[in-house]
């Protein structure tokens, strides 16, 4: 069965998507695989995979403006925002204000055709309003969640960052596949790490990846300029180099020629002065005698 999973089984296990809580409600009995020695309930990995797959196909039947995601927790909100950027589906983050789905007089009134919630307990207000309005609900449910009004349960660890990132990664990929935006999983370009990143981290990573490329371009540009400088020093014509001023500045021969005459002029002065001093000394000697 492992080869039929949406992603490698090891990736599921590393994300801890199957690790529940130490509490269990009757609603989640069909999705419990076993209980660990430490008291944590383990969810059935095959059912998790199957339900994510079906949820992606279900959401793909709707246009992005007909779907709404409610993510009240920080980790779910981060992953859901990337999901929104990939699919175009609207995400409501933070506290769900009463009346958004039921009060038509509100300026922020919304009327989605299907709702995706990340935690039935934290988003109970949204679940209640959607149930009242007859809006179908897809819910990420842990072992301790009551599933009243939830039409399609995705059993999972709905509190861990990596688990939520993996779920939204798979849902985004399945949604795009269902809409015909990608023909295969290989065409899905958004990495799983982007769904795990905190706000701003993705931009920092992108800038870090762009820096080496910019440095490489600078090196290439410098290498391309070096031959023209060498040719310039060897006496290349101004027309070929395009820098006539630099050719005049770097002529060492002209600089040497400017200094040389000064040295040659000073030398004769010393030679002329020597005989005159010698004659003066000889005359002074005669006078003393």
Please state, in angstroms and rounded to a whole number, the distance separating the CA atoms of residues 142 and 16.
Answer: 12
Residue 102 has pLDDT above 50, yes or no: yes
Is residue 195 classed as helix, strand or coil in its secondary structure?
helix
Instruction: Please state the three-class secondary structure of 41-87 as a single string.
Output: EEECHHHHHHHHHHHHHHHCCCCHHHEEEEECCHHHHHHHHHHHHHH
More confident residue, 158 or 284: 158
Q: For the chain, give the percent of residues with pLDDT over 70.
A: 68
The per-residue pLDDT of the chain, averaged, comes to 80
- Do 125 and 137 touch, CB atoms closer than 8 A? no
Place of tokens 């679940």: 127
Q: What is the pLDDT of residue 236?
A: 47
pLDDT digits (tens, 9 = 90+) for 59-80: 999 999 999 999 998 899 999 9
- Do 41 and 21 touch, CB atoms closer than 8 A? yes
Q: How many CB atoms lie within 10 A of CB 284?
A: 9
For the chain, what is the radius of gyration of the CA atoms?
Answer: 40
Query: What are the angstrom distances between the C-alpha of 219 and each of 215, 229, 230?
Result: 6, 15, 17
Q: What is the pLDDT of residue 216?
A: 53
pLDDT confidence band for 286 (50 / 70 / 90)? very low
Whether the CA torsion 152, 196, 60, 53 is positive or negative: it is negative
What mean pLDDT is predicted for residues 235-248? 46
Residue 240 has pLDDT above 70, yes or no: no
Is residue 99 classed as helix, strand or coil in its secondary structure?
coil
Q: What is the pLDDT of residue 198?
A: 81
Please state, in angstroms and rounded to a whole number, the distance separating the CA atoms of residues 35 and 108.
Answer: 44
Residue 268 has pLDDT above 50, yes or no: no
More confident residue, 40 or 200: 40
Residue 134 has pLDDT above 50, yes or no: yes
Please state, in angstroms and rounded to a whole number, the distance separating the CA atoms of residues 72 and 94.
Answer: 4
Residue 238 has pLDDT above 50, yes or no: no
């Amino acid at each position: 069965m492992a080869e039929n999973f949406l992603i490698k089984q090891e990736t599921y296990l590393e994300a801890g998507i199957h690790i529940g809580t130490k509490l269990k409600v009757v609603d989640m009995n069909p999705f419990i695989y076993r209980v660990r020695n430490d008291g944590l309930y383990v969810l059935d990995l095959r059912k998790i995979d199957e339900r994510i797959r079906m949820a992606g196909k279900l959401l793909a039947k709707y246009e992005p403006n007909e779907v709404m995601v409610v993510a009240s927790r920080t980790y779910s909100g981060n992953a859901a925002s990337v999901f929104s950027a990939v699919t175009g589906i609207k995400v409501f983050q933070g506290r769900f204000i009463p009346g958004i789905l039921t009060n038509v007089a509100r300026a922020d009134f919304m009327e989605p055709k299907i709702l995706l919630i990340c935690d039935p307990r934290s988003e109970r207000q949204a679940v209640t309003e959607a149930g009242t309005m007859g809006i179908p609900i897809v819910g990420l449910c842990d072992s301790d969640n009551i599933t009243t009004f939830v039409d399609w349960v995705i059993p999972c660890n709905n509190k861990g960052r990596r688990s939520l990132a993996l779920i939204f990664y798979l849902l985004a990929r399945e949604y795009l596949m269902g809409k015909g935006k990608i023909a295969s999983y290989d065409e899905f370009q958004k990495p799983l790490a982007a769904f795990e990143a905190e706000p701003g981290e993705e931009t920092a990573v992108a800038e870090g990846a762009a820096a080496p490329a910019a440095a490489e371009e600078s090196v290439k540009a410098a290498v391309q300029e070096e031959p023209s400088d060498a040719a310039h020093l060897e006496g290349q014509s101004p027309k070929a180099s395009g820098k006539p001023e630099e050719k005049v500045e770097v002529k060492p021969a002209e600089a040497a020629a400017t200094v040389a005459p000064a040295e040659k002029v000073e030398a004769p002065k010393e030679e002329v002065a020597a005989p005159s001093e010698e004659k003066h000394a000889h005359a002074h000697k005669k006078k003393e005698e």
